[in-house]
Every structure is written in structure tokens, then in C-alpha cells.
Amino acid sequence: MAEIKKGDRAADFSVKSLAGETVTLSAFKGKVVLLDFWASWCEPCKQELPLLDKLAPRLKEQGIEILTVNIDDHQQNAADFIRSHGLKLTVALDAKQSIVGKYEPPKMPSSFAIDRQGVVRAINAGFEVGDEKKIEQQLASIASK
């Protein structure tokens, strides 16, 4: 399966969330989405997720959703991390690697900024503190078009 690049249509998927609900990317059609891949063993991910969680309510007001995809083999690791940090982000579980296999993120974490038409407009590989500002501006720019 070829990796998804900037300008490609985002690949739809249907998996269970940490909350036990079915999550599909197509359910977010008409919204700008930040699709963020992470794992509990990834140190930069541990820095990024709490910052994304803080951004989420402000972005939601602009019609922007954050959907995180956890690639841990053991979903309990993801559940423990989310609970211990009190995060409210939607977490899609990808233990079977079906989503990550379609997107092939370049690093952990990686996020894909997807426009209202379902096209990938930007890919953010890796994360350092401060990148959340760049990501917020990027999403706001996509949402304003």
C-alpha cells in the first residue's frame, strides 16, 4: 500500500475508539481534521498529546477536529496514558495496523492535516514543544479556505 502524501485524498477507515465507539474518518466530512498518529512508548508523543488536548476545544469552535490514532499493540497502554493525563481526545485504536499501513507516517508522532474535502494539505513529522503553535496556524489556514 502506498503512503499518503500531501495532495492525496485521505484514506477512510473504521475502527473502535478507546471509548468503545466506532470511529470513521468519513464521519468528519465537511470539517478540517488533524489525524495524529501516536504510541505510548514514543517520548515526543507524550509531549504532544497533552498540548493537542489543550488546543482541541479552541479548534473545535473553528470547525476543526483532532482525531488521534494509537498504534500500540496493547490498547491498555494507550488507555493508561490517556487516563493518567486526563485527556479528552478521541483515540482510534489501530493495534492491527490497518490505518498506519495506509498512511505510513514518516515518524512518531506524525499528523496529517486534512481539509473539508478530505484532501491531505500538510504532514507534520515528529514533534517538539512549540510545534503545536505551527500546527494550530496550519489548521486555521486550511479552515479559512
pLDDT in tens, 9-63: 999 999 999 999 999 999 999 999 999 999 999 999 999 999 999 999 999 999 9
Provide the pLDDT for residue 90.
96
DSSP state letter for 60: H
Tell me the C-alpha distance between 118 and 142, whole Å. Answer: 12
pLDDT at 1: 46
Residues annotated as catalytic are 42, 45
Query: How many Å apart are CA 71 and CA 122, to the nearest integer?
Result: 21
For the beta carbon of residue 105, count every other beta carbon within 10 angstroms.
23
The whole-model pTM stands at 0.96
CA separation for the pair 90, 124 (Å, rounded): 19
| Count of all residues that appear for the chain in the document | 145
pLDDT digit string, tens, across residues 59-98: 999 999 999 999 999 999 999 999 999 999 999 999 899 9
Cell of 26: 468519513
